[in-house]
Structure 1
């Protein structure tokens, strides 16, 4: 009852916005949910709408509706929810160059990169990944699906993209005109080598390219959910183990009344690990984006090594990294990972590369930043974990990843960064892969049920309380 009431209130607010802001609008894009796809299709047809896509993953359809019909259909008892088909975008930074650099970070302070075809990257070493490589774990036998702007053919991914799906009805024939998906795939899986090792975290992982963002890195809920629906329907055929979501959308409802969150929970419940970006609206609290606001999935914020990869003392959470708690009181992000001055490959003729020409370092290697990058490298670590421990469930993976993370603390043991900024701490692959802590995350929670987290706002601050409301 609580969920249905919430959805109805949100629908009334949506109708008010549509009615005031677009009085001349003839139709509006929505997602209609019922007890089955068949019922949702029938509802849309009965009330004069047009069905676009069937979204079986959440028993819904995307549709175009006359504005005047929305209030009528909302009163039909067969409707479980009607949601605005809101926008989604890639979770990368818009800054033209060096998004994490402060005035003190001068070029002459920055280590010079050797003159070679493949520039040195440091984020694998900053995450302890080289220890996993030395033990023989490279992601072999693991498959990662990326829901993004596509993956272009590059020399490093030849023969490794085992399937493709395009959720865009009017997508271009070019597989990734924007470039963001290709960059994220490279951070996860590029098998080229620099003087330190590989330049991708899981150099032998297989990839599934699921395009849902357009040539400008933008999309809609319906396209993303369609992509997730395809993954759910085809994950056994392509052995999909992990889904990378380096995408963000604004919060318009509690997670349990958000159709995108419902879709990622369906994947999680099916045994697929979902890794999502925290967002780039930090450092203010309550800025965690969807679907990273979902309590079940692994949500990743960003930190920087401050161009000193061997010295952790000057590392910091990037100011852009979104901070928790979530809208329903859960601690997020779950972990943080490198997400600044990240080097990855992309074609120079993509939209992103043309808009960020100053970020080019060498050849097709560009510097990028954002929680999208932090999410991608964390996905790579999850692939290594599943290579080493293939029977781990999503809840076991999340537990091990968080409990092997290294929080930033002062000498007296107090946190250097709030739990709402760094979560459990920085991802540490050496332990997560080679000696994963045993346990399960999300205990006591059931997929599909609404929950409120342990965080409350009291005395001008966010605090964590027990079930009786007493501070922990």
Structure 2
């Protein structure tokens, strides 16, 4: 049974604040949670009030609508409306890698993400050669913004992320290879050409993944994006959507944001303690904060609330990956660290397909590498695939034996055989037989 609120309590704090100073006819984009799917009467009222429906969401369930500020109070009085959130903007989290997390050793052990499907909710995926050669590993595509049927990326962020997860380096002799180069990808475009989008579109993308989870065998979901949270993770809409995916068996990896310790700069859905929240370290193993500054272990000045901490950190600075229209480029941010963890999840699920999301997360945490930065900065530590999978075994090369040693061993075995035959025979006591044995012993002694 949904919780009951007074009309003012139904509005999120951001939505209540947003009404200040607004003209009555100004329109706000909202996510309205409803208690049932029968909304014809409610939508009729929205249209009469000068609003409009963008789309429905079944995961919550909710309506994404435009509504004049002046109509919010009356709209919130409807008993069918349980909560109303402002549909806030989300953005891509932009601001040496593969060896740094031990991914090369996993390939030597035979793990490449084969058979695992990773969904990437982002600006899209360009069909780069490293994703389509020798066969196309972009398994499915859904453009929630423009409805285009073929994969594309009008920004480049999503393609870069996809390459970190599953690029195979085929266009550059394998040099720029992703963490899980044989994993397959599902691209969901939820961000525009500027790397911006709406909370409701990201939720719809997550909902689409859940609906197609069995058909496409989606195991991992990468969210290198975020927006300002409107409540704690129990109520925040985007956080709740990621919990829904997690509970259905999808490992969700989200960027913790690039704001560092600055108050209020940890974004949703990384607010959600249930999922895997990823922070960014550079190749010197220092924590990257706002404006690319670094914080060493001895300069900790602020302790964050528990749900604002990352779970893991991974390299995210100056990461080389795929570029739209071919080639490679460098980008930085927790956006780049997150797909490293998503790719690692694909490798883990390839080896241990029976693991649940909670078990995958716990395995990463327990075998992470302590950087000495403290829980408030590094989470539980840095992603370390070598500690998860172990180092590849190396066989000791066989040393060639000298010819003399081989001949000596052969003659020694021959002598033992002759002595055995002689001792078991009562008739072989002639002087001729004794002379033969003496000759064999003489040759053997000269070889020692």
| TM-score category, normalised to shorter length | 0.7 to 0.9
Alignment partner of 1:381 is 2:339: no
1:346 has 2:323 as partner: yes
How far the C-alpha of 1:428 sits from its partner, in A, is 0.6
Structure 2: tracts of 5 or more residues without a match: 392-448
Task: State the partner residue of 2:442.
Answer: none
Equivalent of 1:427 in 383, 390, 394: 383
After superposition, the Cα gap between the structure-2 partners of 1:278 and 1:58, relative to the gap in structure 1 and judged at 3 Å, is: same
Asked if 2 retains the 8 angstrom alpha-carbon contact of 1:44 and 1:63, the reply is no
Q: Quick check: 1:161 aligned with 2:138?
A: yes
Residues 373-419 of structure 1: CA deviation (Å, up to 9, x unaligned): 0001111111100111111100001111111111112xxxxxxx131
Matches within 5 A, 1:116-265: 122-158=96-132, 159-169=136-146, 175-192=152-169, 199-265=177-243
**Equivalent position of 1:275 in the other structure:** 253
Map of 2:20 onto structure 1: 20
Distance between the aligned counterparts of 2:367 and 2:385, measured in 1?
Answer: 8
Aligned partners of 1:53 and 1:226 also within 8 Å: no
Partner of residue 357 from structure 2, selected from 375, 394, 416: 394
C-alpha change, 1:41 and 1:180, in structure 2 (3 Å) is farther
Say which SS state the counterpart of residue 282 (structure 1) adopts.
Answer: coil
SS in 1 for 2:31: strand
Distance across 1 between alignment mates of 2:337 and 2:6: 33
Bigger Rg, structure 1 or 2: 2
| 1: CA distance, partners of 2:70 / 2:11 | 13
1:167–1:224 CA contact under 8 A, matched in 2: no
* Equivalent position of 2:82 in the other structure: 80
1:337 corresponds in structure 2 to 314
Q: Which moved more, 1:3-12 or 1:83-92?
A: 3-12
CA RMSD, aligned part only? 2.8
CA gap of 1:300–1:40, structure 2 versus 1, over 3 A, is: farther
Q: 1:135 to 1:40 in 2, by over 3 A?
A: farther
Deviations 1:223-261 (A, max 9, x none): 111111111111111110000000011122222221111
Deviation at 1:343, TM superposition (A): 0.6
Q: Hey, what's the Cα distance between the residues in 1 that align with 2:122 and 2:309? A: 22
**Tell me, what secondary structure is at the counterpart of 1:330?**
helix
2-side partners of 1:212 and 1:185: how far apart? Answer: 14
2:292 aligned with 1:317, yes or no? Answer: no
Q: Does 1:364 align with 2:327?
A: yes
Asked if the contact 1:7/1:82 (under 8 Å) is kept, the reply is: no
Q: Confirm or deny: 8 A CA contact 1:388 1:434 kept in the other structure.
A: no
- Residue number in structure 2 paired with 1:46: 45
For the structure 1 residues 139 and 254, does the alpha-carbon distance in structure 2 shift closer, same or farther, using more than 3 Å as the test?
same
Offset of 1:175 from its aligned partner? 1.4
SS of the residue aligned with 2:127? Answer: coil
Structure 1 residue 32, shift from structure 2 partner: 0.8
Q: 2:28, 2:157 → 1: CA distance?
A: 29
Q: CA deviation at 1:65?
A: 1.7
Q: Which residue of 1 aligns with 2:421?
A: none
Give me the TM-score of the superposition, normalised by structure 1.
Answer: 0.74
Deviations 1:94-139 (A, max 9, x none): xxxxxxxxxxxxxxxxxxxxxxxxxxxx211110112211110000
* Superposition TM-score, scaled by structure 2 size: 0.77
Tell me, yes or no, if the aligned pair for 1:338 and 1:374 is still in contact at 8 Å. Answer: yes
In the aligned structure 1, how far is the partner of 2:138 from the partner of 2:46?
A: 42
Secondary structure of 1:366's counterpart equals strand
CA–CA separation in structure 1 for the residues paired with 2:345 and 2:6? 35
TM-aligned CA distance change 1:388 to 1:15, over 3 Å: closer
Assess, with a 3 A threshold, how the Cα gap between structure 1 residues 250 and 172 changes in structure 2: closer, same or farther.
farther
CA positional deviation for 1:2: 11
The 1:186/1:277 distance shift into structure 2, 3 A limit, reads same
Summarize the Cα distance change of 1:6–1:380 in structure 2 as closer, same or farther, 3 Å threshold: farther
Cα drift, residue 35 of structure 1: 2.5
CA displacement 1:303-358 (0-9 Å, x = unmatched): 1123xxxxxxxx2111238999776x43620000001111112126xxxxxxxxxx
Partner of 2:213: helix, strand, or coil?
Answer: helix
